[in-house]
Chain A
């Protein structure tokens, strides 16, 4: 009994912090989301109910944000993980210059995303004076120029996905190269002695050996992509709703502080919807990774 008491005492500081900065705000958000017609100035509300959720779910801006976010997640998570795996395999199979390449691939991770977003914008933007670098390239190959920043939806989605992939790749490459390097070389030597074809080595040895890391990356990738916001601001500016490129987190932010801001109840409802989505997807992911056939 005494021991127990001591254990809790040791945990107390951490619990206080967590309680104060995480649990309390979470509960607060939950309460906000059910308070109808809350006025932040007078701190009053009319009643308790699901109206906030209903409002958010019928708000075309929110629906657009959900669509954008889902598209972003579905496009970028598999692509970035796959590409990172390819690059890591390449890095792992070369000896000379490996360190150089590793550094190069890691650069985006230590670079400020807003600054890089600006560079992306300059590369892709079409202005009155210049078509932008990418469009010049498209021209050179005989294509039609496209405005990637203020143009059609698919073009904006393309830039956004490309940028997201580019930003998240370094971390994935870092994780995957170290995962690959930590596979005991004896497995490969054993496979060689047994005349295992290259593809089979990859699918039957390498992939299963690093699969925990891949699952980790997919899960954190999903969570990260669902929470995307700042990258979009870097590319399309702060008025994401006007650009039609808002994300769920962006919507929450706008509801709180944007031009249409001052609606903490709507923001809370949207945040909780996002929470529910991420929780569901993560659970599905975890289940899938546990269920995965072990062969």
Chain B
């Protein structure tokens, strides 16, 4: 089932009497989610991710715009008629019901012809439980489960009615780092097996990058960029997106372009062909620094952190407000005793953005 969002906008009336303007939680969101894909909806807190998800599932009605599931216009359909599965951030498992009863719950709501027989319900519930590997816990209550298990129960409950669309709102935010890693693989596997179109909300860019077919980066209700995770990482459309993706984050320098050369401070560090002279932000990925005795960029070395295969070099440069973090191969790392370090830059890891608009500059 493909999902089409057309100029989707959601305004909330502002409770603050002094500010007359509405809160625009989602602003003119247009996107066609291809059938059977896993979409990562990514953005900082308060950017409208949950609202978008609520709009897709029908818990909120859009102020304007349309939503289609396949060919059907579902914009004004209440959530119960949309056939969506929703996994809430806190799972919202019914605490007084056992795992099995929780998973059966959506099936028992079905009426008339759609209502399966008792055995059928049980079979489907057990199947869903098997899929998320909790079939040995069916008699327990949610309070007797670990966070990861609860989350899988929530997924099973969302999947058991064979939804056309599966929506997950920050499902991993309550889990510890290890479990998070495991569970996101699990979600990926389940999504691949069921081929249900899935939208997955997170504010953790790594999470989104690692399991999504496509990621959507949002900021203040406005979609910034949509694309394959690697493409968005390699080719950010603006400074915000480039800063939001990647750990450690991109290093942002205040620089300028003069005569086709990028200058950071007084060093001409890279050719910038085809870009008119102007002030720019230069974003350099941590892996874009190559230690080189003849390199164009000279920095003051602060610290060398060995992380095994790679080494993280922390240094400073006049054009960059924050400390710079470069990831270099361990063999090439500078000696800790030195005070200066020189880098050559990989051109495809350096992105230039206009100073005022923060939009990407490219030749």
Residue positions of A touching B, CB distance < 8 A: 184, 186-187, 189-190, 192-197, 200, 204-205, 208-209, 294-295
Q: Which of chain A's residues have a CB closer than 8 A to the CB of B58?
A: 193
| Number of inter-chain CB pairs below 8 Å | 59
Q: Which of chain B's residues have a CB closer than 8 A to the CB of A184?
A: 90, 92
Given the contacts A194-B106, A195-B109, A197-B109, A189 and B92 also touching, CB distance less than 8 Å: yes
B175 contacts partner chain A, Cβ-Cβ < 8 Å: no
Could you tell me the dominant secondary structure of chain B's interface residues?
loop
B31 contacts partner chain A, Cβ-Cβ < 8 Å: no
10 example contacts (A-B, Cβ-Cβ < 8 A) are as follows A184-B90, A186-B88, A193-B85, A194-B80, A194-B109, A195-B106, A196-B105, A200-B108, A205-B94, A294-B141
Given the contacts A200-B109, A295-B101, A192 and B92 also touching, CB distance less than 8 Å: no
- A196 to B80: give the CA distance in the assembly, Å: 8
B333 contacts partner chain A, Cβ-Cβ < 8 Å: no
Could you tell me the dominant secondary structure of chain A's interface residues?
helix
Q: Which of chain B's residues have a CB closer than 8 A to the CB of A196?
A: 80, 105, 109
Q: Which of B84, B86, B110, B141 lies at the interface centre, i.e. has the most chain A CB atoms within 10 A of its CB?
A: B86
B57 contacts partner chain A, Cβ-Cβ < 8 Å: yes
Known: A192-B80, A197-B109, A209-B95. 15 other contacts (CB 8 A): A184-B92, A186-B90, A187-B94, A189-B86, A189-B92, A190-B86, A192-B79, A193-B79, A194-B105, A194-B157, A194-B161, A195-B106, A196-B80, A204-B94, A209-B96
Residue positions of B touching A, CB distance < 8 A: 57-59, 78-81, 84-86, 88, 90, 92, 94-97, 101, 105-106, 108-111, 141, 157, 161
Given the contacts A187-B94, A294-B96, A295-B97, A195 and B81 also touching, CB distance less than 8 Å: yes
B325 to chain A, nearest CB (A): 39
Q: Which of chain A's residues have a CB closer than 8 A to the CB of B90?
A: 184, 186
Q: Which of chain B's residues have a CB closer than 8 A to the CB of A209?
A: 95-96
* Nearest opposing residue in chain A for B83, CB measure: A195
A193: contacting residue among B59, B96, B97, B141, CB under 8 A? B59
- A187 to B110: give the CA distance in the assembly, Å: 18
Q: Which of chain A's residues have a CB closer than 8 A to the CB of B101?
A: 295
Q: Which of chain B's residues have a CB closer than 8 A to the CB of A189?
A: 59, 86, 88, 92
B109 touches A193 (CB 8 A): no
Q: Which of chain A's residues have a CB closer than 8 A to the CB of B97?
A: 204, 294-295
